Amino acid sequence: MQQLSRAQEHGAAVWSAAALLCDMDGTLVDSARAIEQVWTELAVRHDLPCSEVLAALPGRTARDILRLFLDDVRVIEEEAARVERSQLAAPGVGPIPGAHRLLSGLPANRWAVVTAAPGAVARARLAAAGLPEPKVLVTAESVTSGKPSPEGYRLAAERLGLPCERCVVLEDAAVGVAAGRAAGARVIGIGPGGQGADAVVSDLLSFTGLEFTGEGIRWRLGEER
d(CA 114, CA 23): 5
Active site (catalytic) residues: 23, 25
- CB-CB contact of 35 with 25 (8 Å): yes
Quickly list DSSP for the chain: --TT-EEEETTEEEEEESEEEE--BTTTEE-HHHHHHHHHHHHHHTT--HHHHHHT-TT--HHHHHHHH---HHHHHHHHHHHHHHHHH----EEPTTHHHHHHTS-GGGEEEE-SS-HHHHHHHHHHTTPPPPSEEE-GGG-SS-TTSSHHHHHHHHHHTS-GGGEEEEESSHHHHHHHHHTT-EEEEESGGGTTSSEEESSGGGEEEEEE-SS-EEEEE-S--
Backbone angles phi, psi at 26, to 5 degrees: 85, -10
